[in-house]
């Protein structure tokens, strides 16, 4: 059965436009959970073996291919082997960083990041965060992971209020995710990054694929772009951990493996 289908009329319109006018389409993807399987330690994350070949093939057929991730842009490039995709744009830290043609543009982090970096270890001790809780320092943001604890969901609940309070004092935004809470600079999200990319390129169709709560802002952007005449398609890399995206998607596929299979069908459909 083909994966290149839509459960909504708006999604069908977008797929048809991408197939008919690929040179006017932008295809953008989250990294972890979408192009790369979720792993216990995000430092071990690598792209699905079929992801880069599919993106390479797609890049030669559409206006632009992009990855929009909460990771630092260079980390996504390195972990994904994304520099093998001609012309790809990688927007890291939800759009604060940009990697294109081997050049990385990185603004200075706000002072609140340093404050959180200093405060987090003591806060975790104070609230009694159990063994397996760990801090990922992304330089421009910090994330607290619970996946390696005995009860990840319970630990997330334990940490939610204290981390929100710390973020408020540091004037940072809170980004919840799959067994993780991230404290990051405010004023940027995947929706703003996607909208800027589509607008800058004058695209008439956009596909966005994601799997986690941070991707909801990109889904919002796709829906707003539809109101402006840009045909939009929302693809969900489905999981049992996060179901919100599946309820709003035009199509749901089974994880990164399904995303790669979808891309392979899309490449065949748009020709070259």
- Can 30 be counted among the known catalytic residues? yes
Which residue in the list 16, 20, 23, 30 is annotated as catalytic?
A: 30
DSSP secondary structure letter of residue 36: B
**Residue 107 token pair:** 């603004």
> Exposed/middle/buried for 73, CB within 10 Å: 0-12, 13-18, 19+?
buried
b (16+ CB within 10 A) / e for 8-31: eebbbbbbebbeebbebbbbbbbb
Other beta carbons within 10 Å of 164: 14
Find the DSSP H helices in the chain. 9-20, 51-59, 73-80, 111-127, 152-170, 190-201, 216-227, 244-248, 255-270
The 8-class DSSP code of residue 139 comes to S
SS3 state of residue 215: helix
Nearest to 28 by CA among 215, 268, 242: 215
- Positions marked catalytic: 30
């Amino acid at each position: 059965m083909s994966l290149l289908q839509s459960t909504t009329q708006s999604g069908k319109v977008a797929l048809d436009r991408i197939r008919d006018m690929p040179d006017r389409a932008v295809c953008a993807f989250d990294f972890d959970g979408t192009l790369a399987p979720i792993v216990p330690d995000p430092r071990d994350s690598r792209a699905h073996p079929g992801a880069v070949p599919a993106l390479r093939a797609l890049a030669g057929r559409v206006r632009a291919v992009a990855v929009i991730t909460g990771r630092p842009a260079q980390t996504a490039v390195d972990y994904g082997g994304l520099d093998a995709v001609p012309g790809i744009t990688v927007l890291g830290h939800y759009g604060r960083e940009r990697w294109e043609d081997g050049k990385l543009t990185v603004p200075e982090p706000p002072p609140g990041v340093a404050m959180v970096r200093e405060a987090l270890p003591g806060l975790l001790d104070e609230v009694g965060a159990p063994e397996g809780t760990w801090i990922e320092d992304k330089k421009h943001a910090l994330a607290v992971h619970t996946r390696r604890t005995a009860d990840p969901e319970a630990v997330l609940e334990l940490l939610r209020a204290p981390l929100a309070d710390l973020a408020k004092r540091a004037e940072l935004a809170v980004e919840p995710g799959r067994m993780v809470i991230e404290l990051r600079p405010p004023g940027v999200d995947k929706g703003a990054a996607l909208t800027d990319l589509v607008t800058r390129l004058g695209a008439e169709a956009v596909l966005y694929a994601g799997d986690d709560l941070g991707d909801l802002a990109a889904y919002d952007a796709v829906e707003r772009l539809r109101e402006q005449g840009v045909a939009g398609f929302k693809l969900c890399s489905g999981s049992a951990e996060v179901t919100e995206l599946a309820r709003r998607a035009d199509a749901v596929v089974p994880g990164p493996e399904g995303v790669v299979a979808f891309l392979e069908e899309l490449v065949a459909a748009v020709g070259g």
